[in-house]
A and B are shown apart, each in its own frame.
Chain A
């Protein structure tokens, strides 16, 4: 498969560049490659030298590799730096019909634009650097439709957490998923990105949504988008990117939007999610063969089967990541907390997905609203989503997080993560406990 855009970050690329060097090869198409450091950057004092020696070394290595190979790099203090899956769409690099890869499983985010985007390993990063191609087995096709109107307080994150809770964390393995239906169409581009972002959390290689006017409107005028008449010509081509009515899928599922409520996870994989208002499944609900894993998971979370989720005291709230670190997410949180104060027991980290989101948050007064509510906006990066930098949830603490993974120790050794929407995270921050945000709307 020929790759139109290769996105590169500091963590999964150094071994690929080293491999290339060992083979005596140059990057084949540096102009099709864009890099930024995100996974490993600090979110405080980014203007100062990075204290963690290993992180600093890895980020410097990316800079050196990009300079040597003529690759565009949005470095740490560049105004376009940010999480790779936030900046791609923001800069207009991501366009319908493109093939896009990155050494990161959340590359599926870009599928929101009707591009074929998926995560790859470092050997494959090296393949793409060397040849602009990657060898892939052909995936099976799945169509997931969500039909109807989403209720008040039900967001894109709830839609995708709902889907994963039904399909399970492995149910999409081997598939590429097309998300369709009126509820998906009604989402903004940022909402669509949230949905496609988490395709991998049901095991799917990627997820995509056919481009439409919402897509074209979003892309128009962005730095790397086609301009003027070239844009119009591109739109004509992009309009042809949809599945025929009689297209064949290996699996088709339809959900009713009216059944979706604000969701939260209670376990240690993203498939272990439920409506906030309901309870953790009880022992009787779990198949015998799955019981060990279920109980191990609850044991880690310090939860009990059948327990109610509402009212559980929370310690940390994290708003950010490639799933929910965009301006609409910050806006949603700010709208909700305006005039309110965060609960005393909550430590809240709000980490914008990019420098540009940070700038916009300042300009729109979001930063001020958050500060008045007792939150603080940190600097862009992947941050506590994977806790590679210092942003770690302490051992045993319970966090409600807008990120994408609730694996054991994902947000720091011993950290307990519950995934939810930015709106739910805001409601939790204000009340200090698990709550359905609709109660406060």
Chain B
């Protein structure tokens, strides 16, 4: 099995300026009863996106016609709280390929990487630049280049490098998945088990 390959994208972005966006906001617990991975995008940010009668809230960014694109730009500490991978599935299923923030919660970051969703961690300064660029022109585009670990605000050519675990980078570029890798090490795993008292 494999994940979708990722090399580079160029796209406008959706700004979510709120900090500490927890996974309960990304996908509320009541939608975790599903037993498959598909369809969570419909309920992404459910309670921010819809009122209790399921009408879209016009002031929420995903409901605004001015924002679009496959990049989500979010405030500091995105994905905190619950380990639910459903959060990463929801973001990806909605159509985002990249989430940008100045800080990610650990488990969300792993979950995203395991599903071909690229978490791009940048400085607070660059995050603010991105928010400013979107505020100026919601259609402004950004380029995310995984090979060179670089994110660019195309309108200003302002760019920043981002860190990514080299193994995970390899996985994303080639569409590899961790289980294939671990399965290839089964002999070593068994040898380790044998060495345990």
Task: Tell me the chain B residues, 22-60 only, with Cβ under 8 Å from chain A.
Answer: 22, 24-25, 28-30, 32-37, 47, 52
Interface residues on A, range: 35 or more
- Establish whether residues B82 and A105, one from each chain, have CB atoms under 8 Å apart when the complex forms: yes
- Establish whether residues B115 and A123, one from each chain, have CB atoms under 8 Å apart when the complex forms: yes
On chain A, the residues within 8 Å of B75 by CB distance are 293
A-B interface pairs (CB < 8 A), number:
163
- Establish whether residues B77 and A170, one from each chain, have CB atoms under 8 Å apart when the complex forms: yes
- Establish whether residues B33 and A121, one from each chain, have CB atoms under 8 Å apart when the complex forms: no
Our pick among A127, A169, A296 for the contact of B18 (Cβ within 8 Å) is A296
Point out residues on B near A: beta carbons under 8 Å.
Answer: 1, 17-20, 22, 24-25, 28-30, 32-37, 47, 52, 75-77, 80-86, 88, 103-107, 110-111, 114-115, 165, 167, 177-179, 181-183, 185-186, 189, 192-193
Any B CB within 8 A of the CB of A22: yes
Our pick among A14, A105, A123, A292 for the contact of B81 (Cβ within 8 Å) is A105
Distance of A139 Cα from B107 Cα, bound (Å):
12
Given contacts A130-B179, A410-B24, contact A123 B114 (CB under 8 A): yes
On chain B, the residues within 8 Å of A120 by CB distance are 83, 107, 110
Our pick among B81, B86, B106 for the contact of A407 (Cβ within 8 Å) is B81
Q: Classify the interface of chain A: helix, strand, loop or mixed.
A: loop
Given contacts A55-B33, A121-B111, A409-B47, contact A2 B83 (CB under 8 A): no
Task: Tell me the chain A residues, 195-221 only, with Cβ under 8 Å from chain B.
Answer: 200-201, 203, 205
- Establish whether residues A121 and B52, one from each chain, have CB atoms under 8 Å apart when the complex forms: no
- Establish whether residues A386 and B83, one from each chain, have CB atoms under 8 Å apart when the complex forms: no
- Establish whether residues B1 and A405, one from each chain, have CB atoms under 8 Å apart when the complex forms: no
- Establish whether residues B18 and A292, one from each chain, have CB atoms under 8 Å apart when the complex forms: yes
Distance of A23 Cα from B178 Cα, bound (Å):
13
Q: Which of B20, B22, B105, B181 has the most CB of A within 10 A?
A: B20
Any B CB within 8 A of the CB of A57: yes
Chain B, residue nearest A123 (CB): B114
Our pick among A2, A55, A137 for the contact of B165 (Cβ within 8 Å) is A137
On chain A, the residues within 8 Å of B37 by CB distance are 15, 122
Contact with B along A380-400 (1 / 0, CB 8 A): 000000111000000100000
